Amino acid sequence: MSRPDLPARTPALALAQGRWVKWIGGASNNDLAAIEDLTGLYVLAGVHCVDVAADAAVVAAARRGITWAMAQGASRPWLMVSLSDGVDPHFRKAWFDPLACPPSCPRPCERVCPALAIGMEATGAPGVLQERCYGCGRCLPACPLGLIEERHQLLTPEDLPPLLRDLAPDAVEIHTQPGRLEAFQQRVTQLVASGVPLRRVAVSAAAEVSAAELWQRFAALRHHGFLPLWQLDGRPMTGDVGDGTARAAVQLLRARRTELPPGPLQLAGGTNGRTLPLLQRQPDLARSCAGVAFGGVARRCLQPLLQEAAHRGLRLLAAADLWPEALRLARSLVDPWLERP
């Protein structure tokens, strides 16, 4: 079910032409079944990159999805793994003690969780299913008693080089925060120590990271010969919310595009189906954008079909009557970017 009506583009060519699309599996998402299904469907839909947690089981699940998609005629995407140079919202999970949760609580945390990681259906008891949680944080202010904690995860400097050698990704993304140049430089040194040839090193930064700091990160990457890709995170992990988040991503591009170091600029953080129409209203701005990354919205639009397959005791990719509809929905999100003039 490949698309003969759309020309095949390598990831590098898609970046150069402004038609790059990345699917974000989640830097702390360990839902292996969903990762395999979503990877397979979005790769078949035409994405150029799959971005997942730097975890052996997660990468193996993503590779299974890629293999399935390529058997259907898809082109091979880049496999990217996400890292951080310190504590970061993308690398956390929610947690609370179910015994402390009052039986009378209406559980607003369950209602706001986009990953369906909280509640009886997810866990069989009040609590958080850690494999599904990807750290969006929406449950934290929702709890009326303040019982929910965030627990951060960070790879040690000693663990990263051998892990990267085992995972053998095509690219790496480093999430960075203000004031962490030294920590960023250490992560780059660890990439070098791994010996893994990387096509790109993406830098994920929200508006709080100044242009001056991004130039410092550019110098650290180029010193070791890495090619940067700048991911502008408007409102991280909110793409399933609505128009406001799409506007935030476009506004961040408008504010940063002339001050950033060389390298392609990619939108993320709140991106959804409204992002491209908003961008195309400003042709000069649109020309500066190399592409987009979809995370929460990509999962949300396929979530009902994932659930239906699970209720049948099947994987979505194994449900012959369901995955073609899931592919149609995935293409409705991806195709506008692949078809950009």
| 205-244 confidence digits (pLDDT tens) | 988 999 999 999 999 999 999 999 999 998 876 767 777 8
Identify the top-confidence range among 8-17, 151-160, 309-318.
309-318
pLDDT at 126: 62
Domains of the chain: 11-86+168-338 (3.20.20.70), 90-152 (3.30.70.20)
Q: What is the mean pLDDT of residues 140-167?
A: 92
What tokens were used for 140?
A: 């934290």
Task: Give mean pLDDT, residues 246-269.
Answer: 93
* E strand or H helix that includes residue 121: helix 120-123
Neighbours of 37 (CB within 10 A): 28
| Mean pLDDT calculated for residue range 163-174 | 98
50 phi and psi angles, rounded to 5 deg: -120, 120
Cα separation of 333 and 331, whole Å?
5
Partnered with residue 230 across adjacent β-strands are 203, 265
Please determine, for residue 58, whether its predicted confidence score (pLDDT) is greater than 80. yes
Phi, psi for 69 (deg, rounded to 5): -65, -40
Q: Distance between CA atoms of 90 and 206, rounded to whole angstroms?
A: 12
Model confidence at 101, pLDDT cuts 50, 70, 90, reads confident
In the structure, what pLDDT confidence band is assigned to residue 37 with cuts at 50, 70 and 90? very high
Question: What tokens does 106 get?
Answer: 């209406």
- pLDDT, position 134: 86
Distance of CA 231 to the CA centre of its chain: 11
Confidence of residue 90 (pLDDT cuts 50, 70, 90): confident
Structure letter (DSSP) for residue 98: G
Ranges of H-type helices in 5-76: 11-17, 32-45, 56-71
Once rounded to an integer, what is the mean pLDDT over residues 269-283?
94
Tell me what the pLDDT averaged over the chain comes to: 92
* Averaged pLDDT for residues 263-284: 94
Bridge partners for 151 per DSSP: 93
Going by C-alpha positions, the residue among 305, 308, 310 that lies closest to residue 328 is 305
